Chain A
Amino acid sequence: MSDLQSAPDGIAARVRRLVESFVETDLIRVRIERNGDRIELGRPALRVDHNEVAEAVALAAEAAPARNVESIKSDLVGIFRLSRPAPLEGDLLEGDRELAYVEALGIRNPVRSRGAGRIAAILCKDGDAVDYGRPLFELDRG
């Protein structure tokens, strides 16, 4: 399995990073070949205007599969606590799982993943005070 294929979720981000690094340089053409995958970036002139950068980024994003990221928000005011074992960014969830709870007026209100996905981001620290609508997790539903 090739490098790029091994992290299908990261393709868009990787390509975007590559394009961004490329436009920061004065290079006209870059070709990367690895394990059978090949990516080639180029531009017609040394000076690139911002529209072209945006276009390149947009094209790269279009080429990669779209990510479906959903944020799980707090529906009450309280103290955010990670459930044990503590979930980590990058964890793959096979189904619905309790990720954390919001403690309010002495009651633990569970925060669930409501389905499968990969934890793309944990947005609050254990012990943070959170309010209504505060994004707690980003889940990549694939």
Chain B
Amino acid sequence: MIANRGEIALRINRACQELGVKTVAIFSEADRESLHVRQADEAFCVGPGPVQRSYLNIPNIISTALVTGCDAIHPGYGFMAENARFASICADHGIVFIGPKPEVIAAMGDKATAKRVMKEAGVATTPGTDILASVDEARKAAHKIGYPVLIKATAGGGGKGMRVVEKPEDLERSFKGASSEAEASFKDGRVYMEKLIRDPRHIEVQVLADEFGNVVHLGERDCSVQKPSHQKLIEEAPAPRLSDKARKNLHDMAIKACKHVKYSNAGTLEFLADGDNVYFMEMNTRIQVEHPVTEMVYSVDLVKEQIRIASGEKLGYTQADLALRGHAIECRINAEDASNNFAPQAGTLSKVVFPGGPGIRVDTHVYSGAQVPPYYDSMIAKIVSFGATREAAIARMERALRETVIEGVHTTIDECLVILATPEFRAGDYNIGFLPRLLDTQAAEAALASTAVTAGA
């Protein structure tokens, strides 16, 4: 059973069809006309549009699996993918959860625990603390680490319960602010501290591990093109301008970490890179949105591997069997207004034409006439380009984005084209501060242009 919607539901369905595995889709009333509903062998409505009542409705999801006789549930990403409780409920009902064991999901889902476990494994983590009991303790820690520091909620995510502290005077206010925000958002006010690394790169390592302790990595992805909200927009594999030493260090740490936590299935370790220094940030215990760039350069089907591993098969290959070839880039096409803070758009897609040709892959669930409901993530497609070199992959991506037509909502296509054309992106010389700075420049230029028009009138 596929416990998800949108492009990832189609992606999982495709892997199942190719493996000869029958599928059951779940859908909300808002997704009745969705492609994943049509392409699966069976489809069950699990609730109305809002996610709490449909894609997060555990009783209806489990009941669907039981009445249709499903052996396994693939959670995709988001929704149930990193919900340890859901993974244990599946196990209680004799359903295989396609992912790691519930206790591993739980450990990695708690950021402070994950960091502690990684430290034990000998993985470099950003200088920082465990859970802080008091403001006094925080003050001492900050003095030792050195300002600026970051106070983060252990249950956190999406920037909630996070504060940057530049100087000692601000510490108490930020500590209390982060803690109460975390309490309000996650019912868990515990916070910890990390050294703030200014404008790092976000580099992550893909891993695959079977249930017999065999672990391989599938290289890294650079995901530093992020919106001001820290959501990724463009990803590429391999990471450009990374020294061989730093790259090897990343891969080795990822393998060490997985062996230490007895990881199984597909996973991603996210690191912050500051020059050649890399620090573990968090581990995602699921398939990721940007997995296709890795699939392109390693000629591997990660979703099929997830299913094989979950059904108890051995990896059947070693690190030496895996070779990276070429370069891949992914652009996320979101129904968002880039000129208005990436405000999500909902509505009918009056016309949709996707690109094709050599080296282009499109993962999408939308079509001409499809609805973009207001309830869900605004991503409507992923365009992936492959080339023998990074330059070739960029040229193909630009060509593909220009071929793409999406009418009815604003999209991120134009913004992606602007990014690809910048000297920074061309040179592979960018970090997570790059896109926010570019947007500021664009906004300033737009303001200047409108002033010029007024002056000329």
Contact = CB atoms under 8 A, between A and B. Distances in A.
B59 A76 contact: yes
Given A77-B67, A78-B67, A79-B67, A131 B62 contact: no
B60 A132 contact: yes
B44 interface: yes
A105 B45 contact: no
A76 B44 CA distance: 10
Contacts of B64: 77, 131
Contacts, number: 39
Nearest to A133: B45
Contacts of A79: 67
A78 B63 contact: yes
A129 interface: yes
A104 interface: yes
Contact of B45 (A78, A104, A134): A134
B63 A77 contact: yes
Contacts of A76: 59-60, 63
Contacts of B62: 105
B44 to A, nearest CB: 4
A77 B45 CA distance: 8
Contact of A132 (B47, B66, B67, B68): B47
A129 B59 contact: no
B58 to A, nearest CB: 10
B199 interface: no
A135 to B, nearest CB: 12
- Looking at chain B's contact residues, is the secondary structure mostly helix, strand, loop, or mixed? helix
B69 to A, nearest CB: 9
Nearest to B47: A132
B302 interface: no
Interface residues of B, number: 15
- Looking at chain A's contact residues, is the secondary structure mostly helix, strand, loop, or mixed? loop
Contacts of A104: 59-60, 63
A133 B62 CA distance: 17
Given A77-B60, A132-B60, A133-B29, A105 B66 contact: yes
Interface in A58-103: 76-79
Nearest to B32: A133
B84 interface: no
Contact of B59 (A105, A131, A134): A105
A131 B66 contact: no
A105 B63 contact: yes
Contacts of B60: 76-77, 104, 132
B46 interface: yes
Contacts of B66: 105
Interface string A101-141: 00011000000000000000000000001011110000000
Of B29, B63, B68, which is in contact with the most chain A CB atoms at under 10 Å from its CB? Answer: B63
A104 to B, nearest CB: 4
Given A76-B60, A77-B60, A105-B62, A129 B67 contact: yes
Nearest to A104: B63
A78 to B, nearest CB: 5
A104 B93 CA distance: 13
A77 B46 CA distance: 7
Nearest to A107: B59
Contacts of A129: 44, 67-68
Interface in B64-93: 64, 66-68
A133 B60 CA distance: 12
A105 B54 CA distance: 17
A92 B48 CA distance: 32
B231 to A, nearest CB: 30
Contacts of A78: 63, 67
18 contacts: A76-B59, A76-B60, A76-B63, A77-B59, A77-B63, A77-B67, A78-B63, A104-B60, A129-B44, A129-B68, A131-B45, A131-B46, A131-B64, A132-B29, A132-B44, A132-B45, A132-B46, A132-B54
Interface of B: 29, 44-48, 54, 59-60, 62-64, 66-68
Given A77-B67, A133-B45, 5 more contacts: A76-B59, A76-B60, A77-B60, A104-B59, A132-B47
